[in-house]
Amino acid sequence: MPTAPRRKMALAFAPEGPSSVAQGGSPVRSCAMPSHLQFTGRLAPSPTGAQHVGNARTYLVAWLSARARGGAVKLRIEDIDSPRIKMGAAEQAMHDLRWLGLDWDGEPVVQTQRLSHYEAALDVLKQNELIYPCTCTRSDIASAASAPHAGEEVTYPGTCAYRCVADAQKLHDEGRSFAWRFRVAENVPFTDLFAGEHHIDLKHAGGDFVVWKNRGGPAYQLAVVVDDAAMGVTEVVRGDDLIPSTPRQLLLYRALNLTSPQFAHVPLVVGEDGRRLAKRHGDTRLSALRDAGVKPEALVGLLAWSCDWLDRPEPISPRELLPRFRLESIPAQPFVLTAELLRQIGYSAAT
């Protein structure tokens, strides 16, 4: 049965930093930074494993982009994916960042310490009937959805989209687990600072997406939106594998009445086979390079050269790179990390 129209509710938690409330009716796209806000970037390692050379390149770009503008850099530990979290990985990630010469402002924000903020955001989405309970398993979705093309994600077919928020109580009483899905119904255009214009039809590229997992706790899309807004983040620099996440996050910014940051998605580091950097390409963990005696300036110089900020790989610190930083100088193609390049900085990436 159709539900009665509801007054749109706004997110109630207080931001940790400059005001991040948007004016109603703004288009769903990255917003230019209001003049009264400090330029703020962020580093957001996930302690699901060790940080590697590919992570280091993205962190370097993000750090330089903020510091070159006299901006702040915030650190967030994205540890909500509890089954995959590795003991000690968060501390190791911070050690890796310090080793590279990348600092941050203030204390690290830890997602598992912010569950009440995510719950508040979920309540806003419920009050505005923007989400619904979904009992589908991954196998249910895979069997019901059309077969995706190579490299594409499965599009949720809308099996549970007929439900409304009130149905959650009955499911709970029946002992049935469920996730919460956000309804999508539009093409979401946005302008990426590096990758340019994008028009992604979410209805046919993933469909309604999960904001709260069936085992409890926020999904990535909701958590990062709530956190970036609360931390006053004005620019997000990350790998271009996350471009599909951006329209989902922009919809959540609008739904929660928050100002979105600008986004810059930069190419990934890949192995000689053209695939995303992984264990199959040898041990490229930052801790392994450090233990082998590689100097951080040597790695930073290699990464700077890969971004066309240096004519050749040579030792340099992140701070020395500040006057050389140009986002537009980064090649549009992925950076191919070869064994020879690693040998040039004194490392053999043995498998």
Q: Which residues are annotated as a binding site for Zn(2+)?
A: 134, 136, 156, 160
Sign of CA dihedral 12, 14, 15, 16: negative
User: Which residues define the annotated binding site?
Assistant: 42-46, 78, 134, 136, 156, 160, 220, 238, 279
Nearest residue to 317 via CA among 336, 294, 300: 300
User: Which residues define the annotated binding site for L-glutamate?
Assistant: 42-46, 78, 220, 238
User: Which residues define the annotated binding site for ATP?
Assistant: 279
> Distance (Å, rounded) from C-alpha 212 to C-alpha 117?
13
Residue ranges in 68-114 assigned as alpha helix (H)? 89-100
Nearest residue to 83 via CA among 213, 178, 182: 213
> Distance (Å, rounded) from C-alpha 287 to C-alpha 305?
21
Containing 304, the helix (H) or strand (E) segment is helix 296-306
Sign of CA dihedral 221, 227, 230, 236: negative
Nearest residue to 238 via CA among 193, 189, 276, 197: 193
The strands making up 179-182's β-sheet, listed across from edge to edge, are: 131-134, 179-182, 209-212
The tokens describing 238, both together, are 């990350």
The tokens describing 38, both together, are 């400090």
Coil, strand, or helix at residue 77? strand
